[in-house]
Amino acid sequence: MNNVYDVIIVGGGPSGLTCGIYTSRENLKTLIVEKEVCGGLAGSTHLIENYPGFPEGLSGEDLLAKFKTQAQKFGTEIREFTEVEKIIPQQEVVEVKTGKENFFSFSVVIAGGSQPKKLGVKGEEEFRGRGVSYCATCDGPLFKDKDVVVVGCGNSGLQEGEALLKYVNSLTFVEFLPFITAQKILQERIKKDPKAKFLLNHKVIGIEGEDFVKKVIVEDRETGKIKEIPAQGVFIYAGYLPNTGFLKGLLELDEQGFIITDEKMRASLKGIFACGDIRSKEVRQITTAVGEATISAISVRDYLREVKNS
């Protein structure tokens, strides 16, 4: 079984790359399969200020490039632009099917993370790429001197909104809840900027325009009053959905589709593990993703010792 990997990791974000660092250092034959380029959600984050060891903060791109270099240094193989479409457990090994080629492994770690939730309102799809965006780091510079709306006042919304403030003429944060859930330090910094305005307890009900976005329609949840916010850009941070579509029927998932594991990161099938944002849990941060990735790598090592010696 020369061409069989010890472990295949699905996803090259913070959790997948960390898992690769640990399994490669254990001399386990490791492959990361990533559907885009490595980095994950964190890789396109403008500024990361809460990852220990970098007191000045650094861009997600720079941080995740270091993760990738470190994994490769210890021997992790990486296939980018290769999407895992199916996982098929066989008697001794697991088959990992991708759109390009199929791989075999003694174990699999699912580190596929999540993707931004859509609002599901009129205009959102129509104006995607023409004013509607889910990534301030990617698209922020296109909105220089424009009026922009950020939907969602969680950490992601405020953090990316702060990055947008550098470019825009005005920034209106719209939040469904009557309060802001983001960390206080972010709230305080943004509230000091005269370009920022908050519209709490409001629901976005539509996005309108012609070739590009021209306005965002919101409803006051208390009074039912409809308002129009003139804007050329809308950045949406309204929560995340797990990338578990390819696992339906294979693993135990929670009601929202996140993977249920035990504390050793073992999923409901033998030889399959999960870590990072794709797990059913409360806190989704890089630090939690890398911690769980470490545990999953050690669990893989112990699992392989067991199955290879039996």
Ligand X SMILES: Cc1cc2nc3c(=O)[nH]c(=O)nc-3n(C[C@H](O)[C@H](O)[C@H](O)COP(=O)(O)OP(=O)(O)OC[C@H]3O[C@@H](n4cnc5c(N)ncnc54)[C@H](O)[C@@H]3O)c2cc1C
- Chain residues that interact with ligand X, rule: CB under 6 A: 10-16, 33-36, 40-42, 45, 48, 50-51, 83-84, 111-114, 156, 159-160, 243, 246, 276-278, 284-287, 289
Nearer to ligand X, 15 or 215 (CB): 15
Is the CB of residue 50 less than 8 Å from the CB of residue 64?
A: no
- Residue 227 beta carbon to ligand X: minimum distance, rounded to whole angstroms: 26
3-state class (DSSP) for residue 309 = helix
- Residue 270 beta carbon to ligand X: minimum distance, rounded to whole angstroms: 21
- Burial label for 155, CB within 10 Å (0-12, 13-18, 19+), is middle
Is the CB of residue 44 less than 8 Å from the CB of residue 61?
A: yes
Handedness of CA 124, 129, 132, 136 (dihedral sign): positive
- Residue 264 beta carbon to ligand X: minimum distance, rounded to whole angstroms: 17
Nearer to ligand X, 134 or 209 (CB): 134
**Which amino acid belongs to residue 16?**
G
- Residue 109 beta carbon to ligand X: minimum distance, rounded to whole angstroms: 11
Distance CA(106)–CA(44), nearest Å, equals 32
3-state class (DSSP) for residue 49 = coil
Nearer to ligand X, 96 or 218 (CB): 96
Comparing C-alpha atoms, which of 181, 135, 183 is closest to residue 161? 135
Nearer to ligand X, 147 or 162 (CB): 162
Q: How many CB atoms lie within 10 A of CB 170?
A: 17
Nearer to ligand X, 47 or 205 (CB): 47
- Residue 219 beta carbon to ligand X: minimum distance, rounded to whole angstroms: 25
Distance CA(290)–CA(13), nearest Å, equals 10
Nearer to ligand X, 16 or 123 (CB): 16
- Residue 35 beta carbon to ligand X: minimum distance, rounded to whole angstroms: 4
- Residue 69 beta carbon to ligand X: minimum distance, rounded to whole angstroms: 16
Nearer to ligand X, 216 or 293 (CB): 293
Q: In whole angstroms, what separates CA 192 from the centre of its chain? A: 29
The neighbouring-strand residues paired with 174 are 151, 199
Is the CB of residue 76 less than 8 Å from the CB of residue 5?
A: no
Is the CB of residue 78 less than 8 Å from the CB of residue 120?
A: no
